[in-house]
Structure 1
Amino acid sequence: MEEEMENPEMVDLPEKLKHQLRHRELFLSRQLESLPATHIRGKCSVTLLNETESLKSYLEREDFFFYSLVYDPQQKTLLADKGEIRVGNRYQADVTDLLQEGEEDGRDQSKLETKVWEAHNPLIDKQIDQFLVVARSVGTFARALDCSSSVRQPSLHMSAAAASRDITLFHAMDTLHKSVYDVAKAISALVPQGGPVLCRDEMEEWSASEASLFEEALEKYGKDFTDIQQDFLPWKSLTSIIEYYYMWKTTDRYVQQKRLKAAEAESKLKQVYIPNYNKPNPNQISVNNVKAGVVNGAGAPGQSPGAGRACESCYMSSLRILLDILEEIWWLENANPVRWREARTKPQ
């Protein structure tokens, strides 16, 4: 917020509007808190700060707020929610007007960029490549003479691979440029009287235990290099950690870890499709699939049609009544068979 206030378009803003704008900035927090509904006073809109639009646009509405930082209640720190896009006058080059022919350049040359390579030099590409081969050979020889390098790169193959890294080639090209592209003079600068020049980058300077700590920290914090430095590598500078990270991404170990993570993510079950399952449960009483008035294969008096299948005890009293009726019919038939037969043939 204070950085945005330094923009030319915000300098002329009245103090009252600046004060209001400061109160429009909020801080996102992942801390959860429950409040009663009676505390609600209205509805507002909170959005992530957009670097491409002016802060004045947030003053056009009373219920419009913005945030760019996230508060961590455990660490008690404010961190950016995501990487910012550096758009604006503060991040753009100040291009001066083209000098007219014969016009002097009034700029301070000491504050300008330093030229480190001349594209139109007198050497051809083949000569430059030969010089770089000599520089790599000097780097391999320097590692053979260095005791610490001999421990880290015990074989000639590993020493040659370390000598072929970018830092050796950059130093060789810088030496050639300072020698005004005189190959003999540049080779003499690579091998002074004290011994060959040894150039080592962060990949060689770090020990195996430090590399393991870095990978563990990267797994925990991601690319939050400030937390990595504070909690895991306090003796390393932030520049050293960032430089090592980009060199570590060029190693085979990083490629293998990336493949393992990709295979692990691919093997995980991402979605589960549950089809419609309408098969009836045999343990559940179903009205539609049971014959009306059937109890254990026999009809029960007083049972409504479609009442479902039930157990014996539910209709025990009805069964007793039925048995009494059957017993009475049996007795009547045996007592007077003729009268019983006549009663069966007459509808009344």
Structure 2
Amino acid sequence: MGEGLRTLLFEGDRLRLIDQTKLPTELRYVMVDDEQTAFSAIRSMQVRGAPAIGMTAAYGLYLGLKKHVDLDKEAFFGELKRQAEFLKGARPTAVNLAWAIERLVRVAHEQRAQGVRAVLNALREEAKAIQHEDERACRTMGENLQAFIKDGMGILTHCNTGALAASQYGTALAGFYVAHERGLKIHVYADETRPFLQGARLTAWELQQAGIDVTLICDNMAASVMASRKIQAVMVGADRIAANGDTANKIGTYQVAILAKYFQIPFYIVAPWSTIDPKTTSGREIPIEERPAKEVTEWGGVQIAPRDVPVYNPAFDVTPHELITAIVTEKGIYLPPYHFA
């Protein structure tokens, strides 16, 4: 499943995404053919996971600009600037989105003298390159994680960091896929990940499809499961890593890290190098996206809380670097103290 499941497929100059809001009960696809549909897919979480939204934004920028191929050069680059800023606003926390857009903008300016059509060709190839690099990075992260995965381990993960969150294999889940390929017996405990239930809807589904032993638990069961000694490691992804190692990830990660520290369980962050943001010195500077209240007060269109109750719904929290045992990327394994420059 890690190799076969593709959340993004670019062919025929269109981008096809798995609509992750429909999983696990329905496998449906959404087509992206310009910056507007890319923005909508990212904002509505039809596509999610830091690497996947970065790639979607890159393809969306190319597809949106393709419709303006007949503009003169000045007007085209004005449209480039508008679309790039528009897409970067889809979700603010995951740095991969801005990283991918800025990478395409840089390539466009490098090719400016060649004309609009040459710029468009370069943008398409750069978007493809980002996806190919992500595929290789995910596999390498999975292999690097084997330094910490032993036969018979119980591993807790939070949110979804598998093939649905990237182009292939994923980040933290890549380690599980590689271990499974090598015949290691591991047991994964997946937090449900309230309020959007990425663990329940996506991680449990992915791992089941792959034949990996997985047990779903509610978020508030983590301490009890750790106390029962069923967990020997925690492995999660990241949406932004500051220069000092402070890490933003899906809401609930921070409390899992605190519990792991209490129970003396190693806590690993797994993310591509593009998730590291050396311009952000610490977690205090990471912008935290707030999501709509109805994600908490409703489920499946059914009201589950009082209609007028105030809701605070941050999508992410920041785990301090002191709680992180190691940060694993495709470039290697990093131990504290963390200094990313």
TM-score normalised per structure 2? 0.22
Bigger radius of gyration:
1
Higher relative contact order structure (alpha carbons within 8 Å, sequence separation ≥ 6): 2
Q: Flag the structure with higher helix content.
A: 1
Q: Which has the higher strand share?
A: 2
State the TM-score, normalized to the length of structure 1: 0.22
